[in-house]
Structure 1
Amino acid sequence: MLTYCAPIERIDALMPAHGAWLRQLFAEDLIVVCGRREPRTGGIIVCRGRKADVEALAATDPFVAEGVATIEVSEFAASMAHPALADLLA
């Protein structure tokens, strides 16, 4: 979970770089889904992988690298999913 810690203008200025970072991780099949939190105080990114690996990856997010957002990584074991997402549990 990302939490913004800078004015939204600084967030918006880094959004293109953050978006490019996300697209690259999607291309590498590391992200399952992502989006803004409402109200706009940060975002949620659901990734594949071990916690330590995801934490290292999160440190490369332009938002985190530039100090405009903090990151909290939590692991969870999915036990149920919509049938359209069943392959993610395999």
Structure 2
Amino acid sequence: MMNHFFIQTGPANKTAQIALSETEKEIVSRIAYHVRELFTTFDWRWNDHREMTDKEIAAIFLVRDDVAHICGNDPKLIREFMSILEYILDEEFGE
């Protein structure tokens, strides 16, 4: 699992903020490219046929890595974890 950190910049240091933002965009773009190359037969579109953004694809892949890590790469535990997550999301955001 990745460690996350935040860099705070003051109003006088906009250059660092912009550079970090560009670096983040580049990383997200590379992750999305890698994921598309791994799963070439998957149609990276939402059900309403909108193309997924690089950020959305990267997020799916990173969440996938976290879930696999949490579950020790055990397929049975991963399915159980996803079932629990689906239930929680349905309860909170379902119709």
Q: Please, what TM-score do these two structures have when normalized by structure 2?
A: 0.32
Q: Please, what TM-score do these two structures have when normalized by structure 1?
A: 0.33
Higher relative contact order (CA 8 A, sep 6+): 1
Report the structure number with the largest CA radius of gyration: 2
Question: Higher strand fraction: Structure 1 or Structure 2?
Answer: 1
